[in-house]
Amino acid sequence: MPKPYPIPEGITPLAETETRQLLCDIIADAKSLAERGILVFDLDSTLLDNRPRQALIVREYGETHGVPELAANQADHWEGWDLRIAMRNAGLNEEAIEQHFAPCREFWRERFFTSEYCVHDIPIPGAPEYVRAGVTAGAKVFYVTGRWEAMRPGTLESFAEPEFPLPDGDRVRLVMKPTLDEHDDVFKDRTYHALREAGAVVAAFDNEPTHINGYREAFPNARSVHLATDHSLRGIKVRNDIASIRDFAPWSKSCSKVPG
């Protein structure tokens, strides 16, 4: 298992007890709304850790191009989405980084957005159990992801072993971009109408500041929860009225035992 994500600069996640209380409160809210309630989850860096996928691709590049440092790349070398940092953490010097950055980036792009490689993702701690709890509470679950439709088979395969609730076309839905080229921001904005039509959003979880801020504005009566994992480094800050958590591990089925 990789080490926990480094906490992004400027973010202070809730303490463990506060995280547990927030997550338990959301399950309680979902239960009160039953079938009208909706829980919205992003996938990458929210429910799924894709650092093993990233590291595998860089290792394959290193093996193909005879770069031993990159051939030994590990998930822990990734601190956000900056390939240069991952290369540096793997032991590559600055001259070699500049030499290999562009071709490695292209090698990465050709593989990262595919079903074949996304099967290597692993769950964020506590995520499968928490999503299952939402379904048990009676809520609908919408996985709203910037992944495109060609990645659906691999995404479903990555859901199976950790036992995420699988899409059934009704209570659990996987909403994906129709094309790779559509910008994630535009796609997420387009989903708001469908969410409103489906019921009442109880909570939305996302690691990307732009997207979690968007949920907060679109659904002011819902809880917006930021995952303090990584993001696209665009310099956008999470709103002050949005809580950040490191993962779902503090959640417990014994929510009644949490001080409130």
- Position 259 scores a pLDDT of 45
Q: What is the dihedral of CA 228, 230, 233, 239, to 10 degrees?
A: -20
How far is CA 55 from each of CA 71, 125, 146, 171, 252, rounded to the nearest angstrom? 9, 19, 20, 34, 31
Distance CA 206, CA 188 (A): 11
Question: How deeply is 99 buried, as exposed, middle or buried, from its count of CB atoms within 10 A (0-12, 13-18, 19+)?
Answer: middle
Torsion sign (Cα): 120, 126, 131, 133: positive
Whether CATH 3.40.50.1000 fits 16-50+121-253: yes
- Position 34 scores a pLDDT of 84
Contact (Cβ atoms closer than 8 angstroms) between residue 5 and residue 246:
yes
Positions of the chain with pLDDT lower than 70, given as ranges: 233, 253, 256-260
Token pair recorded at residue 219: 């659904």
Domain boundaries, the chain: 16-50+121-253, 51-118
